[in-house]
Amino acid sequence: MKKLVLLTGLLALSVGSAQAQEVTLKAVTSFAEKTQFSKNFERFIDKVNADGKGKIQINYIGGPRAMPPFEVGNAVRTKVIDIANVTGAFYTNLMPEADALKLINKPMSEQRKNGTWELLNQLHNQKLNSYYLARQHHNVPFHIYLNKKPEKLDFTGLKIRVTPVYKDMVEAFGGTTITTAPGEVYTALERGVADGYGWPVAGIFDLGWEKVTKYRLEPGFYAVEVNVLVNLDTWKGLNDAQKKVLTDAAAWLEGLDSENEAMIKAERDKQTAAGIQPITFSEADSKAFIAKSNDVAWQSVIKRAPETGAKLRALAGN
C-alpha cells in the first residue's frame, strides 16, 4: 500500500514537471485589438511565442470586447488573466501612484538604473499583485482634442471626455469632465455629449475619431505609458528560462520606442491632411499650461499617496 502511494506520488510529480516545461499565459489588452496602443504588445506576443517554443507561450484573449478596460488591472491582480497590456490610468483605483506614471518621462533604461523601476515594481507587487515587466510608448505626449475653439488656454464652458490622465488638469483649467473608456468616445462626440476629449498625439484614426474632431490643442503634455504587467503568482511560478524569454522580449518591446519620433510626425501630418487644425498659443502661455498641468497632477498623486508620491516626484525630476 505504501509503495502504491509513493508510486502515485512520483507519477503525479513527473506529470507536473512535464507540464511545467511549457506554460501558457492568458493575455488581455485594455485597448482595442490591432490599434495604436495594442500593436506593439501584439508584436511582443508574437516574439514570445516564437522565442518561447517549448518553454512559454501566450494565449491572446483580446481587448475590450473580452474585458472592459477599467477592469484589466483587477483581473491581473486576481489572476483572472496572467499578463496584461494596460495603462496606469485604468488602475488608479487600486494604485493611486499609477497616476504618476504619466509624469515620469525618463527612458526606461534610465528608470531601471535610478531606482524608479524598482519602486514602481514594489508598488505593483503590493497593490496589483503583479510584476512590472515593461513600459511602452516613451516620449508620446497627450493632447486635448476639441470641436469648439477656445480663445485662451482655458476649458471654461467645455465638456471634455477624460480618464484619470486628464481629469485634474481639465478641471484645473475650468472644464467639466466626463470619464469614459476609449470605446465610448466616438458616440460622446457624435451626440455632442462631449465638446472634446483627451488622447495621445497618435491613434485617433483607429476608431474613426477624425470624423468627429475639428481641433488639436497645443501644446502636448504628460507622457503616454502603457505597461505590461504579469500576475505575481504567475511570475513567481516561472523558471529562469521562462522568465528570460519574457524579460528579453520586454527589453525588445521597450526598444520599439525608437520608432516613435517618425510615428508622431506621420500622425500629425495625417491629422492635418484630415482637416484637424492645431490650436496654438504663445510660448509663455504654453509653458505655463504645462507647468500647471504637472503641478495639479503631482498634487493629486501626493494627496492620495504622500510618501511614495513625493519619492516618485523626486525621481521624475519635474
List interacting residues with ligand 173 (CB under 6 A): 37, 87, 89, 163, 165, 182, 198-200, 224, 226
Task: Compare residues 225 and 235 and give the one whose CB is closer to ligand 173.
Answer: 225
Shortest Cβ 197–ligand 173 spacing (Å): 7
Q: CB neighbours of 143 closer than 8 A, spacing ≥ 6?
A: 198, 199, 200, 201, 216, 217, 218, 220, 221
Distance CA 102, CA 223 (A): 5
How far apart, in Å, are the Cα atoms of 108 and each of 210, 311, 315? Answer: 32, 17, 13
Task: Compare residues 175 and 182 and give the one whose CB is closer to ligand 173.
Answer: 182
Shortest Cβ 69–ligand 173 spacing (Å): 7
Secondary structure class of 14 (helix, strand, coil): helix
Task: Compare residues 30 and 116 and give the one whose CB is closer to ligand 173.
Answer: 30
Shortest Cβ 208–ligand 173 spacing (Å): 16
Secondary structure class of 221 (helix, strand, coil): strand
Side-chain-side CA neighbours of 265 within 13 Å: the count stands at 3
DSSP 101: G
Shortest Cβ 14–ligand 173 spacing (Å): 45
Place of cell 490610468: 89
Backbone phi and psi for residue 108, each to the nearest 5 degrees, phi listed first: -60, -35
Shortest Cβ 87–ligand 173 spacing (Å): 4
Shortest Cβ 230–ligand 173 spacing (Å): 19
Cell for 138? 516613451
Facing residues of 24 across strands? Answer: 57
Task: Compare residues 150 and 203 and give the one whose CB is closer to ligand 173.
Answer: 203
Distance CA 104, CA 316 (A): 5
Task: Compare residues 52 and 196 and give the one whose CB is closer to ligand 173.
Answer: 196
Shortest Cβ 199–ligand 173 spacing (Å): 5
Whether the CB-CB separation of 76 and 42 falls below 8 Å is answered with no
Task: Compare residues 146 and 245 and give the one whose CB is closer to ligand 173.
Answer: 146
Q: Tell me the residue number closest to ligand 173, measured at CB.
A: 163
Task: Compare residues 37 and 235 and give the one whose CB is closer to ligand 173.
Answer: 37
How far apart, in Å, are the Cα atoms of 222 and each of 20, 94, 100, 114, 290? Answer: 42, 21, 10, 20, 8
